[in-house]
């Protein structure tokens, strides 16, 4: 089941999202160690969301739509704030000093940023609840099988984002400072766009 979870997780990684771009950007500006710290943060939150889905929190969110809406708009606010901070940081401004994206960042700051960014989409619990429910019905999974499937999915996140962080560090050698600033702007725009899309969905 771990292998099945890994394969499913790798399939999900095809849809490159804002977290992937953020890890790439971090690797390019702050190095592979900082980026890997961020990867660890993402894997931790993904694991917690999968556990929450197994424990049935997804059903609770589905049962109380108002709670779902509050959580969704909180996530939108986080994404837009991070995105704008990334964009204006290129021009030497900072919406919130601790979210300054345009310079080299410590591993602690990167870890916190990726935790918050990944937490900004708590409705992921609903997705995993749906996936695990389907698996439960189709494959008659036991509780331990769901845990194994979840472990495989988390491992795929760690594996894929680690490749992205190494790639970002390698490309840093060939990138001019102006290109790195452009990357920051692109990441910022993606985060804002993702936030807006989440708000209007």
**pLDDT tens digits, one per residue of 113-159:** 888 888 877 667 767 776 776 666 566 667 778 888 889 989 998 99
Classify residue 118 as exposed, middle or buried by CB count within 10 Å of its CB (0-12, 13-18, 19+): buried
Query: How many Cβ atoms from other residues are within 10 Å of residue 183's Cβ?
Result: 20
Instruction: Tell me: pLDDT of 43 over 80.
Output: yes
CA 175, 39, 69: angle at the middle one, nearest 5?
110
Q: 18-30 and 32-54 are packed helices; what angle lies between their axes, rounded to 10 degrees?
A: 150
- Sign (positive/negative) of CA torsion 190, 196, 199, 201? negative
Q: What's the domain range around 34?
A: 2-200
pLDDT tens-digit series, residues 49-83: 888 877 776 666 667 777 767 777 777 777 787 77
Local structure of residue 142 (DSSP, 8 states): -
Overall pTM > 0.75? no
**Structural domain total, the chain:** 1
């Amino acid at each position: 089941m771990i292998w099945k979870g890994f394969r499913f997780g790798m399939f999900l990684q095809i849809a490159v999202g804002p977290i992937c771009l953020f890890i790439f950007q971090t690797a390019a500006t702050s190095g592979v160690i900082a980026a890997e710290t961020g990867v660890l943060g993402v894997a931790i939150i993904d694991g917690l969301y999968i556990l929450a889905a197994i424990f049935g929190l997804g059903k609770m969110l589905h049962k109380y739509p108002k709670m779902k809406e509050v959580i969704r708009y909180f996530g939108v606010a986080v994404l837009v704030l991070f995105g704008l901070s990334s964009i204006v940081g290129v021009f030497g401004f900072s919406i919130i000093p601790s979210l300054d994206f345009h310079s080299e960042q410590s591993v602690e700051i990167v870890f916190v940023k990726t935790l918050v960014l990944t937490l900004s989409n708590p409705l992921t619990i609903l997705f995993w609840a749906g996936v695990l429910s389907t698996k439960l019905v189709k494959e008659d999974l036991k509780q331990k099988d769901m845990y194994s499937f979840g472990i495989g999915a988390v491992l795929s996140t760690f594996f894929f984002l680690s490749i992205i962080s190494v790639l970002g560090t390698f490309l840093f050698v060939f990138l001019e400072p102006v290109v790195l600033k452009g990357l920051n702007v692109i990441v910022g725009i993606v985060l804002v766009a993702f936030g807006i899309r989440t708000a209007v969905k």
